[in-house]
Amino acid sequence: MNFPIFPKSASTTAVQTDHLFFLLLAFSAVMMALIFLPMFFFLYKYRRQSNADRSSRKLPTEYIEITWTVIPVFISLAFFALGARAYFNEEVPPADTLQINCVGKQWMWKFQHQEGNREINELHLPVDRPVTLTLASEDVIHSFYVPAFRIKQDVVPGRFTTEWFQPTSTGSYRFYCTEYCGMDHAKMAGTVIVMTPADYQDWLEHGSVRDTLAQSGEALFRTLGCSGCHAGNSAIHAPPLEGLYGRLVPLSDGTFVRADDQYLRDSILNPASQITAGYAPVMPAYAGRLSEENLLQLIAYLKSLAKETPPKTP
């Protein structure tokens, strides 16, 4: 049996979380000393058998109470601020991260890289590069947790969530599902393998991959018949998708919505809920007809169109 006392630390997040943790440990030690030392002293000195002076003494009760109320308030505020700042850093990803898709289902994790490589319960990553996982669930709530990175995010069905981190040293680290999800919840775990950029590139190229993520999406785009309407020369009047991603889209009820992953998701699965201004609500709903994986591929394809300019409609 080995006797670990502290988890491996392998991301930029881990460093800041550990700093806070040690600060809290130190504070707790001080607090325990402040409570238990006087307590033991009183328990000993004023034990019933002792001869200590017990005559009642007028203490400035109000001042004492205010002191030990107000000081903890300020200390709390400080911890809150530190925790909130670190939280903000680890929840909001920086620009230009490596995007990887991750789908949780009872009871496995599936990943797909931009280059098209797929893995199950194993995730290969390059070191020192910020990574964003786009998380989706096929069934119930899961949670993706890598202890060595000190990050965790619930994977909620019906919605994408994201989680970003930057691995700082190569090696293998375990990941887990930390939201109870049914019978084999305990088995829904795996390993993150952090590699040097060269090794990662090598690994990507040696996978048996036919299409990149966006290419798979494009294939779906055709087989599902999306291109029939959304192509520039189609007879049916459908909004063009080139240059759509990231833009503000005017809706028929006069509001605007940002075309982000969630918008694309909702518009594919249930188009009637957000009709683009100037178009008829004729698109069929794809809810229940697409797996989360395929959905993510479609969205990757739509994202790849972001830089193209929409064709002029006649």
- Nearer of residues 203 and 263 to another protein, judged by Cβ: 263
Give me the phi and psi of 107, to 5 degrees please. -130, 70
Query: Closest approach of Cβ 194 to another protein, in Å?
Result: 16
Distance, in Å, from the CA atom of 213 to the CA atom of 215, rounded to the nearest integer, reads 5
Query: Closest approach of Cβ 95 to another protein, in Å?
Result: 12
- Nearer of residues 16 and 215 to another protein, judged by Cβ: 16
If you search the block for the tokens 């007809």, which residue do you land on? 289
- Nearer of residues 2 and 208 to another protein, judged by Cβ: 2
Maximum Cα–Cα distance across the chain: 102
Query: Closest approach of Cβ 182 to another protein, in Å?
Result: 6
- Nearer of residues 73 and 235 to another protein, judged by Cβ: 73
C-alpha triplet 290, 160, 145: angle, nearest 5°: 115
Query: By three-state DSSP, how is residue 2 classified?
Result: coil
175: Cβ contacts below 8 Å, ≥ 6 apart: 109, 123, 144, 145, 146, 147, 189, 190, 191, 192
Query: Closest approach of Cβ 309 to another protein, in Å?
Result: 27
- Nearer of residues 104 and 116 to another protein, judged by Cβ: 104
Which helix (H) or strand (E) element contains residue 250?
strand 248-250
Pick from 244, 249, 210: which is nearest to 230 by CA? Answer: 244
- Nearer of residues 234 and 255 to another protein, judged by Cβ: 255
Query: Closest approach of Cβ 175 to another protein, in Å?
Result: 9
Query: Closest approach of Cβ 224 to another protein, in Å?
Result: 19
Pick from 251, 246, 276, 250: which is nearest to 262 by CA? Answer: 246
Residue 99 near residue 113, CB atoms below 8 Å? no
